[in-house]
């Protein structure tokens, strides 16, 4: 039976203490920017659903960037969110996809949630054929 090697001492360079992660995975301080954005969009959707129950029939998603092939009716310069109409034959409901990076890059850090709120309200009003002036309570 071979003899076990002696345990190596842990490195403590220059007396700075052990090295390793400052926060454990899954703690709030470890949240990524994408997770924070997804969480803010989810809270906005929950608020909209409380005000208008019809919003529950729409599927929402977030992605980092839009695909490189925008639809013909969309402005090619800035796609902040995209509407995908329902396809009853395939069983797909109406969908709204919100793109994180175009919104974050076009607004100041303190304005991101307000921009997301306006973009989502605009897309929802388009899908549900609600006049935008009825969404003023949501935008305020």
The phi, psi pair for 99, rounded to 5°, reads -100, 125
**pLDDT tens, 68-120?**
776 666 665 678 998 988 888 888 899 999 999 999 999 998 999 999 999 99
**What fold does the segment set 31-66+79-139 form as a domain?**
Zincin-like (3.30.2010)
Helix (H) or strand (E) holding 15: none
- pLDDT(136) > 80: no
**pLDDT tens, 46-68?**
998 998 899 999 999 999 998 87
- Dihedral angle at the C-alpha atoms of 92, 94, 100, 105, nearest 10 degrees? 140
Q: Tell me if residue 96 falls in helix, strand or coil.
A: strand
Cβ proximity of 100 and 64 under 8 Å: yes
Domain spans of the chain, in order of start = 31-66+79-139
Q: Tell me if residue 106 falls in helix, strand or coil.
A: coil
User: Model-level pTM?
Assistant: 0.74
Q: What pLDDT sits at residue 22?
A: 66
The phi, psi pair for 92, rounded to 5°, reads -95, 135
């Amino acid at each position: 039976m071979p003899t076990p090697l002696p345990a190596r001492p842990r490195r403590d360079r220059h007396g700075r203490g052990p090295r390793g992660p400052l926060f454990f995975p899954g703690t709030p301080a470890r949240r990524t920017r994408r997770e924070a954005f997804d969480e803010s969009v989810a809270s906005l959707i929950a608020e909209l659903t409380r005000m208008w129950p019809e919003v529950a029939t729409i599927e929402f998603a977030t992605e980092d960037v839009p695909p490189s092939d925008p639809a013909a009716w969309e402005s090619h310069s800035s796609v902040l969110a995209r509407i995908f109409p329902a396809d009853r034959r395939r069983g797909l409901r109406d969908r709204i996809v919100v793109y994180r990076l175009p919104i974050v890059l076009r607004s100041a850090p303190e304005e991101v949630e307000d921009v997301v709120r306006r973009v989502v309200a605009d897309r929802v009003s388009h899908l549900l054929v609600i006049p935008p002036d009825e969404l003023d309570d949501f935008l305020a």
